[in-house]
Amino acid sequence: MLIRLFCLAFLCCSFALHAAPPVRGSIIEDRAARKLTEAGELRYDAGEQEKAIEIWRSVIERYPRSKARFQAHLKLGEHHLTKGNAYEKARAHFEAVASEDNNDGQQRAEATLKMGVCFFEGRHYGQCFKVMRKVIEEFPVAEQVNEAYYYIGLGHFKQGHYGRAIAALEKVGTAVGDKDQNAEKLESGKRFFVKIEDADLAILKKGEAVTVKVSTSEGDEELVKCVPIGRNVRVVLGSIPTRLGKPRPGNGILEVTGTAKVQVDYTDAHTAARAFNVDRKKQVTVVGNALVQVMDGAFAETLRGVVLGKEANVQVSDADRDVSDAADTLKVKVEVLRPKTPLEIEEEKAKLIAEGALHPATPGEKPLPILPGSEPIEAQLEVDPFKVIDTVELTLTEALRKVEEKLIKKSANPPAGENSPAAAPEPKGEDLVKEIEQQQNDGSIHTGLFRGTVPVESAEVVVVGDPRLQAQPGDLIRLSYTDTLNIGAGPRDLATAAKCVEGNLGGVRVTRTEISDAELELKTKLKTASALTQIGTQYRDFGLDEKAKLKYEEALGVCEEVVTRARKIGGSLLEETYMQLWRIYFSMDRLNLAAAMSLRLQREFPESIYLDEAILQQARVAQKSGDFARAIAIYTNLTRLTKSQLRGEGQYGIGECYEAMAKAARGNAEQMYERAFQAYKTVFDKFPESGRVGDAVAKMASFYYQKKDYARAVDVFEKVLSDHPDANFLDVILFNYGRCLFRMNRKAEASKRFNQLIDEFPGSSLAPEAKRISQALTKAGN
């Protein structure tokens, strides 16, 4: 028996050729590449995406042997996936990270997962399932397993396979690695999950729960009901919300503080050693992920600037520093940084080179630009481009949140008539006010928010040792704090910075937003069109055709407005516009326009990364319109693109076309069926990595059934069910599987397969017939 506990934020997607594996980079190269990568992250966080991308690309080019290049690949892939919707570009970077050259298992698991997300976002669900299953099989203890199950569930949902979607989504949150240190920690304010694995739980009845006791070292005690996870009744899962506060046993919420230990007690009724009613205990530590910020005067919004002559408002959020009922304190370091002059930087570089601590730049290397206003700035260069002018150690005091202060004032001085029944607050608000009143009355403060202020003067002369900061316009105010306890493996050094300015930051209102860069404006509109198209598709999937049509037309209007101006700019912008247009046309079933736009994309951008997808869509247009000969020719062209990941899709499309031609044929149907069979077999033989393998094998089995080769059909059916659990047409497979078993006089097994179809695919058109056959078999005693 094993108890596993974890805290989870719960939610219910460059090619390099080497003759030999690359040689491991030196420690110096790794350090330089790592700092460049961090510099790119700072640029990206500051909104300078193009410069960040340039830095990450330079890491890959300048340090091809360094292990830090994989992090740069990850960052570039994440950008293309989330910001640019360039799924092919993103997947190329993730493939580089997932290669066997990378020894970091965590990075490989993340990259493999993201490869699957790229396929999911591109609606290649078969390939998405294949990659996600690879995550589950090759990285069984990685945290990415939960996300893999999540995307498998979403993919099946989008395809209308609701039974398989539920089965996959039921497994989200059940995978926790044995070495996962996060499972030994509880982040205050997050939901606390309890997972129990015990063979005794096999006797649980449907709907039955297991109750465990969760207690804290400070006196809170709650009961948590754990329910079976899906059909695996050997595992049960329960949860309870947590928050900072004084213990109130039995209220359904686990109150903790920064010093608390949380213990789970479970009674193991029967152990492997044949003992009875053995108490099993598990303890976790309460932690908090800290956040440092420079705030406005009301402590409501973060700022990136500090006005000289006023105060800098500092806030740190760290739940594990709330250790008592009183207002706790913590210390932070606040510094004034000033850019070094070019002469000072050169002199410091020369000194470091002379000492051997810094290697001179390779001829031809471009110097990295300095990023003001972000931390840690040292990550950008071997020589820190800033110097410390003034330093103050500031003590921050735990404070109430503004909303709590308002509720306390309101409860202490209620307006006239507020106590009447008609004006009574809602129960949740009333409970909150009562709890805050209790907290205020007993003098306790449990927020984990620590605040303080430090005056910032405009002065050229620094007064050493005084509680004020002396700075000049253009200087940076840097706030530094060490988060000793957190959800990670060790301490984290956190920092943020704000620029010193003259004047006033308050009272600024935006009256007009205007994008001056024409290309940026058009890219923004393209993203709008993409979002509208996706919304329309969601409406269509739910049967809301009229709303879907409106969204598609709105997206088309945006794109048609863009295309005229995009032709003047050309390049990747025009390429993305064409791509978006044919996606909209195809979604609207305007097949001729979709085909024309696909041809234009191929003609004007023959090297486009979207070329294979455009060819695939063009073939599907021809197939959908009944022009099977043309569709087969286009699919065949797709299979010849050796670097395309969609060749398997093309080969499967050829099989579909021949099968459709066989159904429509009168004289030579058998010949067409044979060609379809060979096309599906080619998917299995030549494209084993394709997401269509399971579907192709299922089609092969159906042909065996039609030829009454039941034994071979059964062998293929069993292979599909065991090796390709996400294949399409599983309802058809189960139905034909049952019919084969019936023909082979294995009627009891046939009944099981028909019942499986009814349970897992109740919405299938074959379910009523399967139910009728199952009932007949039951009456016959099978």
> Residue 316: its pLDDT value, please?
92
Higher pLDDT, 708 or 437: 708
Choice among 175-189, 295-309, 503-517, 755-769 with the minimum mean pLDDT: 503-517
Q: Which of 644, 654, 648 is nearest to 694 (CA)?
A: 648
DSSP lists the bridge partners of residue 339 as 386
> Quick check: 764 pLDDT over 70?
yes
Number of other residues whose CB lies within 10 A of the CB of residue 140 = 12
Q: Are 111 and 119 in contact, with CB atoms under 8 Å apart?
A: no
In this structure, what token pair is assigned to residue 183? 């499972």
Mean pLDDT of 723-749: 79
- pLDDT tens digit string along 658-710? 888 888 776 667 788 888 888 888 887 777 667 677 677 778 777 877 778 88
Whether the link from the prior residue into 247 is cis, omega within 30° of 0, is no
- Pairwise CA distance, residues 582 & 467, whole Å: 64
Tell me the pTM: 0.46
- pLDDT tens digit string along 84-116? 667 878 888 898 888 888 888 888 889 999 998
- The secondary element (H helix, E strand) that includes residue 3 is strand 2-7
CA–CA distances in Å: residue 5 to residues 142, 180, 238, 485: 15, 10, 10, 18
> Residue 428: its pLDDT value, please?
43
Residues ≥6 apart with Cβ < 8 Å to 461 = 470
- Pairwise CA distance, residues 583 & 589, whole Å: 10
- Pairwise CA distance, residues 396 & 312, whole Å: 12
Q: Are 379 and 38 in contact, with CB atoms under 8 Å apart?
A: yes
> Quick check: 150 pLDDT over 80?
yes
> Quick check: 322 pLDDT over 80?
yes
Residues ≥6 apart with Cβ < 8 Å to 401 = 447, 449
- The secondary element (H helix, E strand) that includes residue 561 is helix 545-569
> Residue 314: its pLDDT value, please?
92
- pLDDT tens digit string along 326-385? 888 999 999 998 888 888 888 887 877 777 655 555 444 444 443 433 333 333 345 678
Q: Where are the alpha helices (DSSP H) in 482-544?
A: 518-541
Q: Are 542 and 570 in contact, with CB atoms under 8 Å apart?
A: no
Q: Which of 712, 665, 719 is nearest to 696 (CA)?
A: 719
Q: Are 389 and 470 in contact, with CB atoms under 8 Å apart?
A: yes
Place of tokens 């989504």: 169
Q: Angle 27-45/49-62 helices, nearest 10 degrees?
A: 170
Residues ≥6 apart with Cβ < 8 Å to 418 = none
> Quick check: 22 pLDDT over 80?
no
- pLDDT tens digit string along 533-554? 888 888 887 778 888 888 888 8
- Pairwise CA distance, residues 72 & 79, whole Å: 11
Q: What per-residue string of b and e applies to 275-301 under the rule 16 or more CB within 10 Å gives b?
A: eeeeebebebebbbbbbbbbbeeebee
- Pairwise CA distance, residues 109 & 135, whole Å: 6
In this structure, what token pair is assigned to residue 112? 């493999």
Place of tokens 């893999």: 148
> Residue 443: its pLDDT value, please?
64
Alpha carbon distance, N-terminus to C-terminus of the chain: 38
If you average pLDDT over every residue of the chain, what do you get? 76
Number of other residues whose CB lies within 10 A of the CB of residue 498 = 25
What's the residue count for the chain? 782
- Pairwise CA distance, residues 34 & 379, whole Å: 8
Place of tokens 């980079």: 25
What percent of the chain is modeled with pLDDT above 90? 4
Mean pLDDT of 735-751: 85
DSSP lists the bridge partners of residue 211 as 225
> Residue 332: its pLDDT value, please?
92
- Pairwise CA distance, residues 529 & 481, whole Å: 43
Q: How far is CA 707 from the centre of its chain?
A: 46
Higher pLDDT, 371 or 69: 69
> Residue 315: its pLDDT value, please?
92
> Quick check: 517 pLDDT over 50?
yes
Grade residue 561 by pLDDT with cuts at 50, 70 and 90: confident
The amino acid occupying position 648 is G
How buried is residue 322: exposed, middle or buried, by Cβ count under 10 Å (0-12/13-18/19+)? buried
